[in-house]
Structure 1
Amino acid sequence: MSSLLSLYKAKEKNGTEMSAKKTFLVPLSELYIEPGYNVREIDQAHIEEFRDAYIAGEFVPPLAVQVTDKGIKIIDGHHRYHGALLATQSGTEIPRLECKDFSGTEADRIAFMVTSSQGKPLTSLERAAAYQRLANQGWEPAEIAKRVKRSPSDVDHHLQLLTCGDELIEMVKSGAVAATTAVALSREHGPKAGAVALEQMAKVKAAGKTKLSRSAAIPLFSATKARRLVELVAQAEIYSNDEADFMLAMDTSEEIKQIVADYRAGFPGKWEDS
């Protein structure tokens, strides 16, 4: 049976357009992880999946690394590395891991961690933090979007997520609120968004639920009442004096006040200190 190597060596004869990109078998002891560098949080269950793969002798993709004065730094493959360590601790010796060079700028390395298909899918907060690291290097949202192969609106959304405040960010981290809902709350209520979210969360918990949906977080006002309010205002008589721009009919003013009161009651925190 032939192999890619033998096919490559005979490329002048067989006409293949193959090219080679070398990988290297690096001792575990020469690899290291820089604290806080990985854009993904370490997931123990994911580590154990790689441990089991190493023990079973399954194929595991090579790590992407960079040679530094401290040793060989892992750029992509943190869970694979931890999985190999765990497999060794379990009695299956993994003396070396297959690695490949990663070349490029720091921005290239961050973008690679974001777009890598080998790593565990990024959470919204992890993606947001990666985008922020690129923004801190002077990258504009449109440039970040092009580099990570996402839309500019996706980049804007994730950068906005990091400005939502500690309460909302913790709720997103715990899974109580979706990232899109957190951003929508922040845009709707500004600095009060966290307090509003906590108040609305208390209501859904009282109803036996564990997650704050967008509809519960930002209730939509009744379309019927909104149309009725327009009808009532349309019936008003217009004046051009200094006292008022229009005058409501006596039999409609109380109904209008009630509709306005209902609207305000449905949006806690929005009318405080206003």
Structure 2
Amino acid sequence: MTARSPLGRAPALLWVPALVAVVFLVVPLVALVVATPWASFIDDLRTPEVRAALWLSLRTSLATVVACALVGTPLAWVLARVEFRGRGLVRALVTVPLVLPPVVAGVALLAALGRSGLLGAPLRDATGLTLPYTTAAVVLAHTFVALPFYVISVEGALRSAGEAFDEAAAVLGATRWHTFRRVTLPLALPGVVAGGVLAWARSLGEFGATVTFAGNYPGTTQTMPSRIYAVYLDDPAAARTLAMILLLASVGVLLLLRNRWLTPGAAA
């Protein structure tokens, strides 16, 4: 039996809209599960187009996590540990992709890395390499939208760990690089893992920036979200099957992060 709160009974004016919010969030997911053609689920997964899109999504999302770890971990450390003028501005700029519409992100990437872009034109002239509408463009688009999630998660973990252990290592004669490798990073490892999972999930579901910057070419740039978009108009049932795959992946991510988000007070 649940103990009565000393604050009294929760008012209906709060319970009712809370229930409406839960129903609003849950019913579409339940509807997708019910509407999925489970009888043909396995057969749909075995089609060459779906397997190609799924394999490309897995490869590019894993590459995105690696890219986020390589550049995002140092960035998170700088934001958490180094005092410098303009740090607040840098942090604000890092978080911009969080609120940027994905299509706008794709247009921005084209402006920067397109054939005639700010960086793309010199790159093409110097090496003959063009990035848009290639598999590499998929990874770049995914990294652009996923990196802020990773950086915020790792920076939060670094701040939670505090600098006391770093200072103790410095007193014992450790260099800052040695301290980062042997003290700071191990303490922040749960946040690094959580950031990697978040980046992977964001990458796996990315659509707008990918289609704009990389296109939707089967076998080269067509990821699972792009495949869903291409299939839906002609075969909604098959599209629901593909959507169900991403829903299962999202639930898996939530289970991996259950101690961080599903336990009251864990995120703090």
TM-score under structure 1 length normalisation: 0.21
* Higher fraction of strand: 1
Of structures 1 and 2, the one scoring higher in RCO (CA 8 A, sep 6+) is: 2
* Higher fraction of helix: 2
TM-score under structure 2 length normalisation: 0.21
Larger Rg: 1
